[in-house]
Amino acid sequence: MKLGKIWAVYFSGTGTTRRTVERIAGGIASRLDLPAERVNTVDFSHPAVRQETLGFGEKDLVVFGTPVYAGRVPNVLLPFLRERIVGGGALAVPVVLFGNRNYDDALIELRNILAADGMHPIAAGAFVGEHSFSRVLGADRPNAEDEALMDEFAARVAELAAGLDAAPVKPAAVRGQEPLRPYYTPRDRAGNPINILKVKPKTDLSRCGGCGLCADLCPMGSIDPADVSAVRGICIKCCACVKGCPTGAKFFDDAGYLYHQHELEAQYARPAENEVFYL
């Protein structure tokens, strides 16, 4: 198939999904000799973007990325993904970023959503990034080896897309279960669930310079720009505000949250592997 545009579309709180999707999309375009102006980027991390409709066409290839939250596509994104995406027969490459634990059913869920939106998933990938909760779990991922795999993946996707006579009827097979498993539940060592859904970040006002960057970064628009210590809406624990604060003023101190963080760091210290799939 002769493609007209490559799209890099993603939700990325702390930048790892953005880096991965943009690298793969750029690599595909380069392999297909498409100029930079044929690569379109859509970052739907901000709430306002998720109110818009995003449409594609039959000559498009869309690299579409989300992080993995509790083994699934973040549920706060589902209204946008299901109601605001018009696939238009485009080829798709679903990509998920997971924080060194496991991506569980996130990739098959994203693949199915894009197919239901009218796209044709021809390949897919699950890549490791630093966990949103931690600076040690998946630290420095994606690294040079990960990026080399992304480049190889992009080259194979470009070759696959160029060799197609028509969009495939069936999507690329990926790892995951159907029906989808429930969201991963944090538990203590006795097996009791730990509920961190209502936990919100705190602000060390002695460190806060009042720049308002955390309010700009919050993908839910929940931090009050007039009083950044106030989190008026829901917190999805993406840690964009914590990791993005230039003075280290944002933090979590909830006991259950910290227990879960430290258990993840202890249990999943091994380097997880990326996985890629093709038609």
Residues in the chain: 279
For residue range 252-264, list pLDDT tens digits in order. Answer: 999 999 999 999 9
The helix/strand/coil state of 276 is: strand
SS3 content of the chain, % helix, strand, coil (to 5): 30, 20, 50
Specify whether the CB–CB gap between 107 and 172 falls below 8 A: no
> Could you give the C-alpha distances from 71 to 98, 99, 133, 176, in angstroms and in order?
8, 10, 14, 10
Mean pLDDT of 181-208: 95
Predicted local distance difference test score (pLDDT) of residue 145: 98
Predicted local distance difference test score (pLDDT) of residue 232: 96
Confidence band, pLDDT 50/70/90 cuts, at residue 189: confident
Confidence band, pLDDT 50/70/90 cuts, at residue 186: very high
As a whole number, the mean pLDDT across the chain is: 97
For residue range 143-181, list pLDDT tens digits in order. Answer: 999 999 999 999 999 999 999 999 999 999 999 999 999
For residue range 16-61, list pLDDT tens digits in order. Answer: 999 999 999 999 999 999 999 999 999 999 999 999 999 999 999 9
Estimate to the nearest angstrom the gap between the alpha carbon of 249 and the chain centroid.
25
For residue range 92-134, list pLDDT tens digits in order. Answer: 999 999 999 999 999 999 999 999 999 999 999 999 999 999 9
Specify whether the CB–CB gap between 59 and 3 falls below 8 A: yes
Closest CA to 152 of 172, 129, 125: 125
- Interior angle at CA 143, CA 141 and CA 144, nearest 5: 170
- Residues 6+ positions from 157 with CB-CB distance below 8 Å: 24, 28, 61, 93, 122, 123, 278
What is the chain's Cα-based Rg? 19
Mean pLDDT of 235-239: 98
Q: For the chain, what percent of residues have pLDDT higher than 70?
A: 100
pTM greater than 0.85 = yes
The helix/strand/coil state of 10 is: strand
